[in-house]
Amino acid sequence: MMEKYNNYNPDFKAIICNNIKNYRKEKGMRLMDLAEILGVTPEYLKRIESPNDDKKNCSLTLLYKISIILDKKIDDFLIDNRSKKDI
């Protein structure tokens, strides 16, 4: 049954976190500004952007809003663009 998940990357959360942060910076947006637009605290968004924080996960709804604000497709957040230094 596991053969259906051959492409599963157990590190997908870190990839999404990293992409949120990188796309935000690419757009020239401060964490505080994105948090305000989303209606969340900067601390909350910072924890979402942190791949080491297992207590905070980004909901699909929040990721959808982030994708609209940052002008990205949801798929873009799943692409592993990390360099060796990010891992």
* pLDDT tens over the chain, length 87 residues: 567 778 888 888 999 999 999 999 999 999 999 999 999 999 999 999 998 887 778 899 999 999 999 999 999 999 998 765 555
- How much of the chain is in helix, strand and coil states, percent to nearest 5? 60, 0, 40
- What is the CATH topology of the domain spanning 10-79? 434 Repressor (Amino-terminal Domain) (1.10.260)
Q: What is the distance of C-alpha 24 from the center of its chain?
A: 9
Q: Does residue 38 sit in helix, strand or coil?
A: helix
Q: What is the pTM of this model?
A: 0.85
Is residue 15 within 8 Å of 78, Cβ to Cβ? Answer: yes
